[in-house]
Structure 1
C-alpha cells in the first residue's frame, strides 16, 4: 500500500511568519509552487497558498494600480494571510486517505509532519503524477 512517504516532497520550501508577502511570492515563483509552509524552527505554524495571496492583494479596498498592489505585498507578512494550524498528514498516512482529504476539503496540498516536526508536503500534483504511471488496461 502506498503511503504519503512514498510520494511526498521532502524538505519543502518554507518561510517564517514575519517574512513579507513579497518574499513568499518570490519563493513560489522561484520554486514554481503554489503553497509555502510557514514554520517556527521545525514546527509547522501555517500555510500560505497562491489563493491566499490573491485574496490579500485583490481586496475590494485596493485600487487596480500595480503600485498599490506591490505596496500590499510589502506591507503584509506571511502570518497575515496564512492558514494557521493547517490540517496535516503523517508519512504513514495511506495515499487513499490523502486523496480523500484533498478532495473533501478542496486542498491543493497537505503538510506532512512527524513528532510535531515538518518533514514534507504532498500535493495533488504528486498524486496525479503517480496516477500517470499506472499502465492503461489492455483491450
Structure 2
C-alpha cells in the first residue's frame, strides 16, 4: 500500500503570511490538527495545533494582558510553523510513512509531487489507522 491510497487529497492550506488568528480558526472550522503552509504553490512548512498551543500558552497565562494575546494572534504563522518539514511522495510505501511518523514524532506528513514539490495531499495518523482498520476487516 502506498501513500496515494490513503492520503487526503488537496488539503486546506494557508500562506506563511496568514495570521495565527486565521490559522486557529481554519483548524477549528475544518476539524484538522495539521495545516500545510504553501507559498507560490510550494510547500514551505506545516503547523499543528500543538505548535499553536505552545506558542499561545505564555500569553494565555497572563490573561490580565489581553493586548499580548492580541499581539500574538496577529503575528504571521511563519513565526510558529515548522519550516523543516518532512514530506513524502504519493508513491511512498505506507510502511515507510509509519516509520517516519514514529521517528519524527509527527502526526501528519505533507505529500508532494516528486518533480515539482507541489503539495498534492497530506497523510495523517488517522489516514493510516483507517487503512489498518480496512485490513483487519478483510
Kept after mapping to 1: 8 A contact 2:59/2:69:
no
Question: Do structure 1's residue 127 and structure 2's residue 90 form an aligned pair?
Answer: no
Query: 2: CA distance between counterparts of 1:22 and 1:95?
Result: 34
TM-score (norm 2): 0.89
Gaps of 5+ in 1: none
Query: 2: CA distance between counterparts of 1:77 and 1:55?
Result: 15
Instruction: Give structure 1 regions of 4+ aligned residues with deviation exceeding 6 angstroms.
Output: none
Matches within 5 A, 1:1-139: 2-59=1-58, 63-65=62-64, 67-68=66-67, 70-114=69-113, 115-135=116-136
Deviates more, 1:62-71 or 1:98-107: 62-71
Structure with more helix by fraction: 2
Q: 1:67 to 1:100 in 2, by over 3 A?
A: same
Q: CA RMSD in A?
A: 2.1
Q: 1:22 to 1:104 in 2, by over 3 A?
A: same
1:18-51: CA deviation from partner (whole Å, max 9, x where unpaired): 1100100111011100011110121000001001
> What is the aligned residue count?
136
Query: 1: CA distance between counterparts of 2:79 and 2:58?
Result: 13
SS for the counterpart of 1:19 is coil
